[in-house]
Amino acid sequence: MDSLRIHFLTNSIKEAGTYFRFHNLAVGLVKLGQQVTVFSCDPESYSSHREELRDGVLYRIVPSFRGKTYFSDASHPLNALRRCFVDYPVCDIAHLFQPFLAPAFSWQWVLPQKAKALFYDWDDLWSDGGLLRKPQSFREYWMSFWISYIERTFPKKANHVTTCSQFLADLAKQRNAKRVSIIHNGFWSFTIPDKKLARESLGLDPQALYLGYMGTESQEIPWCLQALEMNLDRNENLRLALCGSEFRSLKRLSPKVLQRVDFLGLLPPRQTRNFAAALDLGLLPLVDNSFNQSRFPIKYAEYMAAGTPVLCSDIGECARISNDFPWVIKSGKTREQWFEGFEEAVNLITNGQLPQVSLSRVKDILSWDSISKNLLEIYISELNRA
């Protein structure tokens, strides 16, 4: 079969969150010889209509409309209309990412005349116990309405739904999706830096036993800090490394605990590889709720890509696939079970009993190369049905 022409319709070019899902899938598909164009929006009102080449992927970008008092970029009705008038070439696949009005409007009304198959990607639960909170303003009501509408109805409208978890796959089927496939988040292989050199580059203690977390402040961060405090006397070399946006929880720590914490702030992508390689164990605590059951955090794969084992709550998709990974320690579903898992992990590392990561096994399942190849096979299978 000749290379496919594939359109990704996304909300924003901002390099955060789902960007790292659709962009890496697009890169993987291009590496496989496919023609991928990402149609997206620049949240800056003063930008211009333009094309950009990012890692070999063509981006066609429109600016956001000004006047965002009543509408966010993602739900702005003028952004939605503007994107309907973009010149979309005829394509094989039109793949919508995320439940936002601005890209979804053209996916529903314009792309059916342009594409042979419509795909909808669902990688986070927003409504029904997900990210959305009770609206407090018209802007929030408007956004919540459209997100909820899209999550309820678009699984049925698509020829095929892709999700990042079994939880969302099951929910899509309940909402009458015709066909559903799970597409995980992954990593690109890289030369793993020496642990000593990685620590030196970040200013970390070369002799410490490091457990670490990378990401944004979350309600689970206090679990990590409290677990550290509970284990201070168990190992005098135990330290906790954190990188990401500001961690407000650190302000509430006692000096005794704070002196065992290394907070590195936001790191550029390549430095996060050094961060993961510098750790003895990556931390992924998850509260047991619908949002965490629905998602598949990218950091789960990024820890293992650096050869670093993981301590992970027994929640959602990470827990489901961890059955194949003996170097992942499951720490239950509650805060108390997280503390128990943390203590067990410290003991295993101290005694040299923590299993090593099999990079070949991880690559087979979680490399973007493997994941992109799987997605391409799904596209071809769907087109063969037409």
User: Could you tell me what percent of the chain has a pLDDT over 70?
Assistant: 99
In sign, the C-alpha dihedral spanning 223, 226, 228, 233 is: negative
Fold held by 195-364: Rossmann fold (3.40.50)
Q: Beta-strand (E) ranges in 158-266?
A: 160-163, 180-182, 209-215, 238-244, 261-263
Q: Contacts for 248-257 with beta carbons within 8 Å, 24 or more apart? A: 248/217, 249/217, 249/221, 249/222, 249/225, 250/225, 253/225, 254/229, 256/229, 256/232, 257/225, 257/228, 257/229, 257/232
Mean per-residue pLDDT of the chain: 93
Measured distance CA(208)–CA(41) in Å, rounded: 45
Residue 324, pLDDT score: 85
* Mean pLDDT on 342-365: 93
- Note the residue count of the chain: 386
DSSP H or E stretch at residue 24: helix 19-31
Whether pTM > 0.85 for this model: the answer is: yes
Report DSSP state, residue 377.
Answer: H
Residue 128, pLDDT score: 86
Q: Is the pLDDT of residue 237 over 90?
A: yes
Would you kindly state where each structural domain of the chain is located, as residue ranges? 5-186+367-385, 195-364
Beta carbons of 185 and 18 less than 8 angstroms apart:
no
Dihedral, 182, 110, 12, 81 alpha carbons, nearest 10: -150
| Tokens of residue 338, six digits | 């997280």
CATH number for domain 5-186+367-385, candidates 3.40.50.2000, 1.10.3720.10, 2.40.340.10, 3.65.10.10: 3.40.50.2000
Count CB-CB contacts under 10 A for residue 224.
23
Do the domains 195-364 and 5-186+367-385 match in fold?
Answer: yes
Report DSSP state, residue 287.
Answer: -
- Give phi and psi for 42, each to the nearest 5: -90, 120
Of 68-72, 238-242, 266-270, 366-370, which range is least confident?
68-72
